[in-house]
Amino acid sequence: MIYIVTSLMINVKLEEYKSMSTVKQKILRYGLSQIMIPFFAFIMTYIPDLAWLFFILYFVIFMSISVIIGRRMYTGRVGDREAILSGKRVFTVSSKEVQQLIMKDRYLMEDLKAQASPLLYMFLTLIVIWIIFLYLLPLIRDVTPEYSLLRFLAYVGLYELLFGVSYVNRLIMMVRGKTQTALMVLNEYVVTEKGIIGGKGITLKFPIKVKNITVNEDRRFVELEIETGGFMGATTSTKLRLYSRKARALYEYLKSKVKLVSKGG
């Protein structure tokens, strides 16, 4: 079960790694699962006493990979931070200013609630997978001999079924056009002639590839929508929000520093 849940989570990060080609993404997303399914079926069948250890190792290793991949999306390459900070500072926004503007933003909670729909699909999928797993696992143990090829094939079938459930949900979200959009608010940031430096290691070097750039002068922020891949077949993007008392001026400056790309481009 840990394998299936972790696979769903790692697939999100693998799809976000946009420097890879589409073919490589598909190999990582589907090939990895198809390789690991018979591996864990073998462990569950022939050395079940050690199955928990392999599941934990799998979880730790691939969650570590997901964290590394996730950080690379926004931390840039080694030396980017120094290169950006070497440029002339154009805007500097402190955490105090950001917090003051957030407190005045009456619609922020509505923006956060809008992100819940795709996450709900993921949560419901995990519930279905959990129910199937809890029902079929003891059934397999009851009707198949221990350490047998039949039990091994039954476990393979179980994991393929769980993988199929997640894949069907992915197709449903694709048909419905569901978009998973994460809102990321920079608590503080510096904009120089060469890029943007934010808290938690955020490093974005100009030109920044974005799907869209917008400004909301009433709520005092600029948003950069950055496509980061897909989850369960839906387009995934991050809205990077930069609060500023000079939102219009920031927008006009960043317009010339971004490169608009089409969906999936």
Distance, CA of 213 to CA of 222 (rounded, Å): 7
Q: How confident is the model at residue 215 (pLDDT cuts 50, 70, 90)?
A: very high
Q: Is the pLDDT of residue 57 over 50?
A: yes
Q: Is the pLDDT of residue 224 over 90?
A: yes
pLDDT above 90 covers a percentage of the chain that reads 50
- Three-point CA angle 59, 61, 65, nearest 5°: 110
Provide the pairing of β-strand 208-210 with 212-216. Answer: unpaired
State pLDDT tens for residues 123-182. Answer: 888 898 899 989 999 999 999 999 999 999 999 999 999 888 888 877 777 666 555 678
pLDDT at 208: 93
Is there a contact between 191 and 185 (Cβ–Cβ < 8 Å)?
no
Q: What is the dihedral of CA 139, 144, 149, 153, to 10 degrees?
A: -20
Cross-strand bridge partners of residue 237 = 181, 227
214 vs 11, residue with greater confidence: 214
Provide the pairing of β-strand 258-260 with 208-210. Answer: parallel
Q: Angle at which helices 51-75 and 32-46 pack, to 10 degrees?
A: 160
pLDDT at 63: 76
Element holding 84 (H helix, E strand): helix 80-85
pTM above 0.75, yes or no: no
pLDDT at 69: 63
Q: Is 76 helix (H, G, I), strand (E, B) or coil?
A: coil
Q: How confident is the model at residue 74 (pLDDT cuts 50, 70, 90)?
A: low
Instruction: Tell me how crowded residue 123 is: count the other CB atoms within 10 A of its CB.
Output: 10
Q: Averaged over 104-126, what is the pLDDT?
A: 83
Phi and psi at residue 29, to the nearest 5°: -70, -45
DSSP secondary structure of 207-262: SEEESEEEEETTTTEEEEEEEEEEETTEEEEEEEEEE-TTHHHHHHHHHTTEEE--
The full set of domain ranges for the chain reads: 2-69+116-176, 75-115+179-260
Q: Closest Cα to residue 163, out of 48, 57, 35, 21? A: 35
Q: How confident is the model at residue 204 (pLDDT cuts 50, 70, 90)?
A: very high
- Three-point CA angle 190, 214, 262, nearest 5°: 105
DSSP secondary structure of 154-177: HHHHHHHHHHHHHHHHHHHHHHHT
Q: Is the pLDDT of residue 201 over 90?
A: no
pLDDT at 227: 76
Q: For residue 144, what are its two tokens?
A: 């198949």
